[in-house]
Amino acid sequence: MGAWSSRPESPVDTNLDIEQPGVLNAWLHAHDLIAATEEPECTVLPGGVSNRTVLVDRSPQTSWVVKQALAKLRVKVDWFSSPERIHREADGLRWLVDMAPAGSITPLVFEDHTDHIIGMDAVPFPHENWKTMLLRGEIEPGHIDQFSAIGATIHARSAQRIEELRPIFGDRGFFQSLRVEPYYAYTATQVPEAADFYAALIADMAARQETLVHGDFSPKNVLVHEGKLVLLDHEVCHLGDPGFDLGFAMTHLLSKAAHMPASRAAFEEGTLRFWETYRTTAMEAGVGNWHLNLEPRAVRHTLGCLLARVRGRSPLEYLDEQERDRQATVVTRLMAAPPESVEDLVFFFLVGIKNEESRG
């Protein structure tokens, strides 16, 4: 079945909840997406804070993942964003299928503008969430290489099509409400000594529209199937600074290094490998000068995200309070004189964490 789009003819039904038993099947029937006799098994998928997400098992046919955007995100502090952002994810699915490495994006199946719902092909079983694997200490160099290459390839190919992409991804409202405000601006209010750093970072990022930026480039949004990585969750895709994706990604690797001393050396090596693979892939595939002088920006975005994930609206759930305090202390100190290279950032961050641990 090809992708289709239905435009709203009536106001959004805010009472529709696809996670409730029977609701999604009834909706799929009403929209003629499944046969009248078909009753697929629907399973709510855990972990998402911004969407309702349900697996629709249509065995032996291709199964789907169906998502519905939430107006109020499921976090402790108030955090709101328009459900219209689900259609940015639909656009991301349409375009990333061509711009990302083959097989790393799930195809879009349907899109509904009335109830803000999209459906995409499900990643086949067996698969596992990459974040879960990393938290078990399973840091595979091949996975790091794939993850890095996905980001570099998206950035490089989109830089060549920037004018074509501008009408679709030029608006950054969803990135503002889901990333800039809750991660950078809000954290600046919680850590006053970092306010000037964040103000400069936000201003520099706002001035750049260099590549398509995923905006949620995280191991949490990656499934591993038969050794191959598949990237999910594209609702904040926009034209912007590729340094944000790099900082967002390296933050997750470095935060896990801080959290898991027994695997620290592997995460350190993995972070450096991520950057070197990215740089090599970007330079080989890139056209133009979008990747020049990117490393210092990637460092500053990593610092910005490292602090945001312990003092912003969406703190990393696997860090305890003591670990969050250590990370905040080390990163705030580094923000005063940011390293210029990823290698120096990784070294000084992990040395700082070790020193804070020794202080108890």
**Measured between alpha carbons, how far is 213 from 205 in angstroms, rounded to an integer?**
11
Q: What's the pTM value of the predicted model, to 2 decimals?
A: 0.90
pLDDT given at position 6: 37
Model confidence pLDDT, tens digit, residues 171-180 = 999 999 889 9
What CA–CA distance (Å, rounded) separates 351 from 262?
15
Q: Which of 39-53, 260-274, 337-351 has the lowest mean pLDDT?
A: 39-53
Place of tokens 């499921």: 74
Segment 303-343, tens digit of pLDDT: 999 999 999 999 999 999 999 999 999 999 999 999 999 99
Q: Partners of 238 in the beta sheet?
A: 213
How far apart CA 18 and CA 124 sit, in angstroms, is: 22
